[in-house]
Amino acid sequence: MKNKKALGVQKNINGLRTEYDFIIIGAGSAGAVIANRLTEIEEWKVLLLEAGGDENLWGQVPAAAADIQLTERDWQYQTEEMRGQACLGLENQRCLWPRGKMMGGTSSINYMLYVRGNRRDYDQWAQLGNYGWSYDDVLPYFVKSEDNQNPYLAGTKYHGKGGYLTVSEAGYQSPLGGAFIQGGKEMGYENRDGNGEYQTGFMFAQGTIRKGHRCSSSKAFIRPIRKRKNLHISMHSHVTKILIDPKTKQAYGVQFQKRDRIYHIFARKEVILSAGDTASPHLLMLSGIGPAPHLQEKGIYPIHANLPVGQNLHDHVALGEVIFLIDQPYSLKEERVRNVQTILNYTAWGGTPLSMLGVTTSMKDFQTIRKSLGVEGLAWLKTKYADANDDWPDVQFHFIGSCVTADRGRSVRYSHGVSDSVWEEYYLPIIDRDCWSVMPVTLRPRSRGYIRLNTADPFDKPIINPNYYSDPYDLAVTIEGIKLALQLSQTSAFKKMNSKFYDKPFPGCQGYLMGTDDYWACWVRSYSVTLAHTAGTCQMGPDNDPMAVVDPLLRVRGIRNLRVADTSIMPLVPSGNTNAAAIMIGEKASDLIKDTWYTK
C-alpha cells in the first residue's frame, strides 16, 4: 500500500460511529438511492462512503460533461491495448474509461441520457434464472424514482411523477434535431417515447435534467435527505478492503483511508458494495473474493474460492462519429454559443444549447466557453441481424448536432483520446465546417472481457481489457449501423441542408476501398469509443450459473451480509444507456434489504 509506513490505524473518526447497521461503499447512481431508502427506517444507522468529494458548480451545467472527465473527479481509467481489435486511432491505442469519483459517481460526469432499455432485456434476465427481475418486476422501480416533466408522459403507466429523479427533454432544440425526427419518419420509423410501450423509433432525448441543470443521483437522492440524523456521509474515503471473517465467511465492516489515515468501521447487518462496474470487482478481489489462482498470484489469500469476479465484462462501444457536412449554419459551433447572451439566457431559464444533453465543452470563466457535441436525439433501429417482427432493435443512434471539430480541438478530442496525428490529418480540414454526426451503437454485444488486479495495492488501478470486437458479430452490427446512418443522411429532411457524408479516408484505413465492409471495419476498430455502459463484472445468476457472483437477491455467493448493487450485477447489458437502470437497481436492492431485515 502506498505510504504504508506513514499511515496510522485507528478505530473511529470524529463525527462518525465505530459501528453502523449498514455501510454503503460508493455514492453513485445506485449507492445514493440505497442510502436514501434505507434511512427511511429511522432506527437504522447508515454510513455512506465516497472516495471522491462533492459535486462542483460547473458540473451542474450539462454542457460541462467532458470537462469533468480527466480531472480529479474522474478515476481516469484506461483500457489495455487490444491487439489490433479496437482503439487503434486513439492515443497509445487505449480507450479512455471515464468513471465518476465524487458524490453521484458517474451520474455526475455522464451525458445525462435517461434510457431504460428494452422490455425483452429484463425478461431475458428473468429467463436466465434471475427471479424478480423481469420487465414487469422492474418497471415499478423505474417509475418510483421518476419525476417526469413532460405532461404527456408524467403519471402514465410508464412514467412517474413526484419521484426524486427529475427527467425531462432539453430546453433547446436545433433545426438539426427536427430533421433527425423527420428523417426517421421517412425511413419508416415512428417518433415515440423509447422508454414507453415500444422502443423501436426516433425521439428527442430525455435526460436527468432539472431546470436546465444536471440532476445527478446525489442531487436527486442525497441532498433532500442529507439532514437525516441516521445518515452519515464520509467523502474522500477510499475503501481499501471489505472486512470478512475467513472462518465464518461473514462481512463485518470496511477498511478505508481518509486524510492519510486508515480506519475500520463495522457493520451490524450488511456491507453494500455500490462502487460500480470497475471498482466493485476490484474491491472484491482485493478483499479475497475472486478467482483463486489470480488472487494467489497477487499475494492475496482467497477467502472464497474461484468466484468469477471481474469476468463477463461487456460494454456498449461505438464508432466515435459518422460525420456529415451541411451548408446551413445549424450546427453547435463554438462561436454560436460563446457569447454573453447565451450565458445569461441559460442562467435565467436554461433554454439554450448549454442545457443540451451530452454536450461537451470547456470553461475557464463565463467569458471563455468552448462548445462541442450535443445529443439531441436518440433512435433504436433494426439491422438485417434483428428480428423484423420483434420490438427488440439491435442498433442505437446518438444523434449529435455537431461533430468533434466544433470546439476547434480544445476539449472533445481529448475526452475521446484522439491522437494528434489523427486530429491533424482527418479533422483539421473541416474545422470551420457546419456538420452533424451519428454514433451507431451495437446494443447487445457478444464480446467479453475482464477486469483483473494489477497488484495487491488498492491504489493501483486495475487491468481493464474489454476485448472490444473480439466477436465478429459486434463489428458486423456496427457496420450495418453505419449504413443506416448513411441512409438517414439521404432523406429529404437532410438533403434540404445539402447534407454530405465526409468521405475523407480515416487514417490507417487508406488501403481499403471507401464504402466497403472492410473499410467500415477498419474505421470502427480505429475510432472506438466507450459509452461507459459497462456491465457484468459481478454477474447476477441462479445457483446453477457458473458465472454468477451474486444471487438474484444480490448477495455475494458464499459470503454472508455482503451484497453488490450496481451495473456490475447485470448478466446482460440493457439495450441503451445504463444510468437509469443503475438507479433502478438501487431502488430494487433497497427493497430486498428491507425485506431481509425490517420487521414492523
pLDDT for the residue numbered 415 = 74
pLDDT for the residue numbered 559 = 97
pLDDT for the residue numbered 345 = 47
Q: Ranked by mean pLDDT, which of 212-226, 420-434, 479-493 comes out on top?
A: 479-493
For the domain 58-101+171-204+316-511+518-530, what is the CATH code?
3.30.560.10
pLDDT for the residue numbered 71 = 75
What integer is the mean pLDDT of 41-57?
92
Task: Select which of 282, 316, 416, 533 is catalytic.
Answer: 533
Of the candidates 75, 66, 111, 80, the one whose C-alpha atom is nearest the C-alpha of residue 576 is 111
Q: Does the pLDDT at position 454 exceed 50?
A: yes
Residues shown for the chain: 600
What integer is the mean pLDDT of 534-551?
97
What band does 89 get if pLDDT is binned at 50, 70 and 90? confident
| Residue 380: all three cell numbers together | 433504436
Q: Which residues pair with 277 in a beta bridge?
A: none
What band does 489 get if pLDDT is binned at 50, 70 and 90? very high
pLDDT for the residue numbered 337 = 53
pLDDT for the residue numbered 5 = 33
pLDDT for the residue numbered 333 = 53
What band does 355 get if pLDDT is binned at 50, 70 and 90? very low
What band does 137 get if pLDDT is binned at 50, 70 and 90? very high
Q: Which residues are annotated as a binding site for FAD?
A: 106, 239
Q: Does the pLDDT at position 58 exceed 60?
A: no
What integer is the mean pLDDT of 305-331?
92
Task: Find the radius of gyration of the CA atoms of the chain.
Answer: 23
What band does 2 get if pLDDT is binned at 50, 70 and 90? very low
Mean pLDDT lowest for which of 36-45, 62-71, 578-587? 62-71
pLDDT for the residue numbered 208 = 94
Mean pLDDT of the chain: 89
Between 149 and 407, residue with greater pLDDT: 149
Of the candidates 478, 457, 402, the one whose C-alpha atom is nearest the C-alpha of residue 434 is 402
* Residue at 331: amino acid letter: S
Catalytic (active site) residue 533: yes
Q: Which residues are annotated as a binding site?
A: 106, 239
User: Helix, strand, or coil here: 179?
Assistant: helix
Percent of the chain past pLDDT 70, that is, above it, reads 87
What integer is the mean pLDDT of 556-584?
98
pLDDT for the residue numbered 583 = 98
Q: Does the pLDDT at position 372 exceed 60?
A: no
Rounded to an integer, what distance in angstroms lies between the CA atom of residue 199 and that of residue 115?
10
User: Helix, strand, or coil here: 383?
Assistant: coil
- The residue extents of the domains of the chain are 58-101+171-204+316-511+518-530
pLDDT digits (tens, 9 = 90+) for 321-354: 999 999 988 776 555 455 444 444 444 444 444 4
pLDDT for the residue numbered 360 = 38
Q: Does the pLDDT at position 7 exceed 60?
A: no
Rounded to an integer, what distance in angstroms lies between the CA atom of residue 261 and that of residue 236?
11
pLDDT for the residue numbered 186 = 98
Q: Does the pLDDT at position 219 exceed 70?
A: yes
pLDDT for the residue numbered 342 = 47
What band does 416 get if pLDDT is binned at 50, 70 and 90? confident
Give Cβ neighbours of residue 172 (< 8 Å, ≥ 6 apart). 351, 352, 353, 355, 356
Mean pLDDT lowest for which of 328-332, 494-498, 570-574? 328-332
Rounded to an integer, what distance in angstroms lies between the CA atom of residue 133 and that of residue 193?
22
Q: Does the pLDDT at position 362 exceed 90?
A: no
For residue 349, count other CB atoms closer than 10 A to its CB.
12
